[in-house]
Structure 1
């Protein structure tokens, strides 16, 4: 804040702001003093003036990361993952640097070091895409520190950091026979909720986190709908349930279920471990749980739903995002190009549009 005092025949101006050096100047006219004070305050607000080195010398990058991890990350969805990422970042020597000495070149060196790190077989330990994802919380931290905490940073040292990311979008769908193998392996899993979750994911195109956070109060079996209150993009959506989806929910619902009870009471870690074991048992190569969402969205288009209808179910906000999850069945496309409604195998056997297991086997 600026203060103007008259001393003798001159007006003495002093501009003080936490984190910046005090600026003083004298003028013969008060109007000139006021104009200069506004100019300096505007430069400080726009981060055009260098911050006070003394303040930044007292704060290390580790101090900033720790505060962000403890105060901000717990309020975010997916905070557990960010906490793990930041804890790993804190172990690196870059975090011992004080903010006054931190430069973009430090993060460039960090990037190069991480990307050069190799496994025993010579393959990279981390890809540019994964590193960019890991550095996202750190980048957000600098922006938060400047705006919310008013720490006088001279810009964001990560601005302009180049990470050459190769587009590795997944187009994995269930191939012939894989659906049946997946169900067979899931039936041998000790946790009774794994198979229903897999089938429910294919029926609804819901994300893993959305399925695991679904409560009975969010489900309306009479109207055949499920409401997702917390989504990845922050928008609530209502999903219409198919007959098979409602059958799954009816089968697993206990008689004493309470509205606040989870429909699928299993932790993300337990589901991940079960998934890894059953895909290995079924000999399914490179199949992720999230690929079931790709499969479900693609099937919705194959059923003839329009783009707005599919988007209302999947929750995608733009067409570009939606198209990343839609991969046409090549047999179906080939059949249409050939003028047929079905594709024939050798011997006349038909390829059905959906390689899905019998839903009623849940009651076996």
Structure 2
């Protein structure tokens, strides 16, 4: 064993065997650090770097990150975060994305976390943007298979059947992965590494947006219904066989609540006298794994809608299922000729109308449940004439008399 003075202090460096130089750095107030190198020069350089960082007081032990692969970090995240998410749909979607990543990116997952750089994820981003959507497992029902043209169904006498169903339209061929999909995947991978970053002593997340540029996505919706379109949609909802559809859709317009919040709404949480309702387990944008309760105000029309509903035995205001509501709404909007309008667009409509009515951002966020002003901004779509009307309401500027 030999002691070498490195950087003004003693570091123990010894030759364990051919091309094996073992370094041990001991410093009061710090845990002992050891590492083995193939050359003595590399061993001395590492010892100087470690002691220098200890002298400056910001040394971080990277050995856990050097022993942990990206696969292990993803698997830990699935157990500790994904499986504990309160929302079933978000839990399933995130698990599918991460399982696909583990299955198709075996080489990237084999890297130790300390050895990953932004270059690895930039290459992953560029590769994904050129890939074709797989549509499920290989050979599964979701896979695209071109269908051979088939003739019409015939009767026993060989004549075409008069009541034969029309042939189904051929499935659309799969396209390339959309930029929005890749952006969401990078966001999930950043959260995965953030979850274990402190525990593994990783100073920088290699998937940070500052280092790995996200694909440009234009997914903001600007859908505002006219009064005639709104009435046409409600008329189509009243024609539905689902007795709760029309009331739920109109209440969504009045409150700006999400579909899931309205389906979870119970009569015990509705106070018609105080004109308020308590929405349980509302999605929290700041902490996706947490759900909060949110109190919302009820407009006079919302109170009227709730007073006209029958009380269900199970205590729910709308005793119907997500699938039943989704199918009924899709048929209703098709009858109204508004296939482009989604039920979630009612939140855009309510947020926009409140801003146009002069509400402050804080008041609108209290009603819609947004906790981030940036998220609220995405939901507000002012009508074309709103700004002009606001300018017209200002007192006219006095014209100065000019001398001839």
Normalising by the residue count of structure 2, what TM-score does the alignment of the two structures yield?
A: 0.63
Whether contact under 8 Å (2:269, 2:279) holds in the other structure is yes
2:306 alignment counterpart: 249
1:292 alignment counterpart: 346
Task: Return the match for 1:312 from 366, 378, 386.
Answer: 366
Whether contact under 8 Å (1:225, 1:239) holds in the other structure is yes
2:124 alignment counterpart: 110
1:75 alignment counterpart: 84
- 1:336, distance to aligned residue in structure 2 (A): 6.0
Whether contact under 8 Å (1:103, 1:157) holds in the other structure is yes
Give 1:220-299 correspondences, 5 Å limit: 220-233=271-284, 236-254=293-311, 256-258=313-315, 262-299=316-353
> Given the alignment of the two structures, is residue 138 of structure 1 paired with residue 189 of structure 2, yes or no?
yes
Whether contact under 8 Å (1:94, 1:106) holds in the other structure is no
Cα distance change on mapping 1:157 and 1:324 into 2, 3 Å? closer
Structure 1 CA distance for aligned equivalents of residues 268 and 52 of structure 2: 53
Task: Return the match for 1:200 from 251, 273, 277.
Answer: 251
What is the SS of the residue equivalent to 1:157?
coil
1:24 alignment counterpart: 24
1:169 alignment counterpart: 220
What is the SS of the residue equivalent to 2:24?
strand
Structure 1's unaligned 5+ residue stretches are: 1-10, 14-21, 27-32, 340-364
- 1:200, distance to aligned residue in structure 2 (A): 0.8
Whether contact under 8 Å (2:102, 2:109) holds in the other structure is no
Whether contact under 8 Å (1:240, 1:313) holds in the other structure is yes
Residue by residue over 1:264-290, the C-alpha shift from the partner in whole angstroms, topping out at 9 and shown as x without a partner, is 234444433433333333221422222
- 1:203, distance to aligned residue in structure 2 (A): 0.4
- 1:213, distance to aligned residue in structure 2 (A): 2.6
Structure 2 CA distance for aligned equivalents of residues 76 and 95 of structure 1: 28
Q: Which moved more, 1:289-298 or 1:180-189?
A: 180-189
Higher helix share: 1
- 1:146, distance to aligned residue in structure 2 (A): 2.6
Whether contact under 8 Å (1:51, 1:154) holds in the other structure is no
Whether contact under 8 Å (2:252, 2:258) holds in the other structure is yes
Whether contact under 8 Å (2:348, 2:380) holds in the other structure is yes
Structure 2 CA distance for aligned equivalents of residues 107 and 12 of structure 1: 37
Whether contact under 8 Å (1:107, 1:158) holds in the other structure is yes
Give 1:147-162 correspondences, 5 Å limit: 147=198, 150-151=199-200, 155-159=204-208, 160-162=211-213
Whether contact under 8 Å (2:197, 2:203) holds in the other structure is no
Normalising by the residue count of structure 1, what TM-score does the alignment of the two structures yield?
A: 0.69
- 1:204, distance to aligned residue in structure 2 (A): 0.4
Task: Return the match for 1:187 from 238, 243, 252.
Answer: 238
RMSD: 3.8
Q: Which moved more, 1:190-199 or 1:117-126?
A: 117-126
What is the SS of the residue equivalent to 1:230?
strand
Q: Which moved more, 1:305-314 or 1:117-126?
A: 117-126
> Given the alignment of the two structures, is residue 99 of structure 1 paired with residue 111 of structure 2, yes or no?
yes
Structure 2 CA distance for aligned equivalents of residues 249 and 183 of structure 1: 16
Whether contact under 8 Å (2:118, 2:206) holds in the other structure is yes
Whether contact under 8 Å (1:47, 1:155) holds in the other structure is no
- 1:198, distance to aligned residue in structure 2 (A): 1.0
Task: Return the match for 1:34 from 28, 34, 47.
Answer: 28
Whether contact under 8 Å (2:232, 2:336) holds in the other structure is yes
- 1:227, distance to aligned residue in structure 2 (A): 1.6
Residue by residue over 1:180-214, the C-alpha shift from the partner in whole angstroms, topping out at 9 and shown as x without a partner, is 22223323433322222211110001122322232
Residue by residue over 1:210-234, the C-alpha shift from the partner in whole angstroms, topping out at 9 and shown as x without a partner, is 2223222221122111123433336
Structure 2 CA distance for aligned equivalents of residues 40 and 192 of structure 1: 73
Q: Which has the larger radius of gyration?
A: 2
Structure 1 CA distance for aligned equivalents of residues 103 and 111 of structure 2: 17
- 1:179, distance to aligned residue in structure 2 (A): 1.2
- 1:246, distance to aligned residue in structure 2 (A): 2.1
Whether contact under 8 Å (1:183, 1:195) holds in the other structure is yes
What is the SS of the residue equivalent to 1:146?
helix
Greater relative CO (CA pairs within 8 A, separation 6+): 1
- 1:331, distance to aligned residue in structure 2 (A): 4.7
Say how many residue pairs are matched.
308
